[in-house]
Each structure stands twice: as C-alpha cells, then as structure tokens.
Amino acid sequence: MAEMKHARRIVLVTGGGLGIGRAACEAFARSGDHVIVTDVLEEEGRALAEKIAKEGGSAEFAPLDVRSTEAADALVARLNKEHGHVDVIVANAGIAHRVPLGELSDEKWDHTFDIDLKGMLRVIRPAVPAMRTTGAGAIVCLSSIMGVAYGWDEHVHYSAAKSGVVGLVRGLAVELAGHGIRVNGVAPGYIRTAQLLSEKHSLGPEGAEKAASFIPMGRLGEPEDIADVIHFLASPAARYLTGQVLTVDGGLLVGRY
C-alpha cells in the first residue's frame, strides 16, 4: 500500500468509520502510517481497520465517543505509552441534525457543540503535551462551508459549531506554533457522504444532484477529495502552513454570484 515514503507516523482519526473520516484513514494508511480508527460505530470502524490490515497497511480500531473526556484522555494516554506520542490528529467526528429554531432546545444545541466542537478539544488537549516534548505534530480539524461562508436553514447550531472550529484552529495554531505543532482545518463543500444524502438532516439524493449543477466543477465532491487535502495538511509539504482553514468545494463559494 506504500505511496510516498516517510517515517511511520501515529495518526488518530475521529469519526473514522464512514465518509471523510474513512477516506482519511485510508489515505494515511496508503502512505505507510499507523492509523488509529476511532468511532462510536464499532462495526464500521473495526471493519475498516481490518480492511487496511488486509491490504498491507497498519491500523487498529479504538471505540471512542468524543463526548467523553475520560475516554479521550484514556485513549491518548494509552497511545502515548505505546508509541511515545501521537504525530497526527484528524478531528473529524461530527453530526448535523436538522432542527428548526423553534425546536432548538438548549439540550439539542449543546449536543451538537459537545460533539462538533468540544469533541475536538477533548482529543487534542491530552495529545499536546507529548507533541510539545517531541517538538512536532500536525492537527487537522474539519469545519464546513457552513462554518466559513454560508448560513444553513434549520442548522443554526451546526453552522455556529463549525464556525467555532475556525476559531479553535486559529487559537491553537498561534499557541502551539512555537512548539513545532501545526494546526489547520478543512471546510468541505457538498461531499457525497451518508450525511449529505440524508433527506431527514441534509439535502437528500435529489437535492445533492441539484447542488452538483451549480458547483463550477460540475460534480459533488467525493470523500477522497477531502482526504487528500487532509493528508497534505498533515504532511511535510505543508510545513510552513498553520492556522488556515482551506475551503475544498469545487469552486462553489467563488462561483456563486
């Protein structure tokens, strides 16, 4: 499965069982890294780790609910003990539930923020001390075009959380730059994932195809289109890049007049 040769890194991916997270796990595995696939979806996460191993890569599955500080701390502590430190974190786990403002209770708001924003902090925070000691590390957080440019009808909590990811990236980047740790983000556009194709919470299949018609590149993105950018941001090729959130949307934002 080898692609480009570099020292084997320890890569922790949250929400690795499906969609963009899954594609990211595969991208890092192809380049010879050891991938820790984490998810609340045990069946999907385990199957992916097994698939990577079967194809000659290196991976393990670790169940993780990013709402649990205790679970995140314990996982990172174990990885630090076994490997010395985590080299790369891909903070990808997230939800996007359609909730009209009139039904947006404190609990529903908090649920989205707990996963989509605080869930990132819970995994990053315990990993940083060992990264600092090593003087190296790369963190990539997933935002959204709904966090950098668009509002999203009946998804106020999601848009707000994904905007928060931009602030998280900037703040962490400045605080950690002097320790050799880079922090960047990706804001995907319309990507063909189970989330996007959900009629209940997102565009649904028909809406997704309509969206493709006004994307300048003429198609929806694929999870691999985002995974390759995540991989780049965590690579030595992006060594002088930190604090940025790259929009990857097939020209959608620049092409809407």
Q: Show which residues are catalytic.
A: 158
Helix or strand or coil: residue 246? Answer: strand
The C-alpha atoms of residue 36 and residue 24 are separated, in whole angstroms, by: 11
In sign, the C-alpha dihedral spanning 236, 238, 239, 245 is negative
Helix or strand or coil: residue 135? Answer: coil
**Residue 222: Cβ-neighbour burial (10 angstroms; 0-12, 13-18, 19+):** middle
Check if the beta carbon of residue 9 is closer than 8 Å to that of residue 85.
Answer: no
The C-alpha atoms of residue 97 and residue 211 are separated, in whole angstroms, by: 19
The tokens describing 175, both together, are 């605080």
Check if the beta carbon of residue 58 is closer than 8 Å to that of residue 34.
Answer: yes
Q: In what order do the strands lie in the sheet with 245-248?
A: 58-63, 34-39, 10-13, 88-91, 137-142, 181-188, 245-248
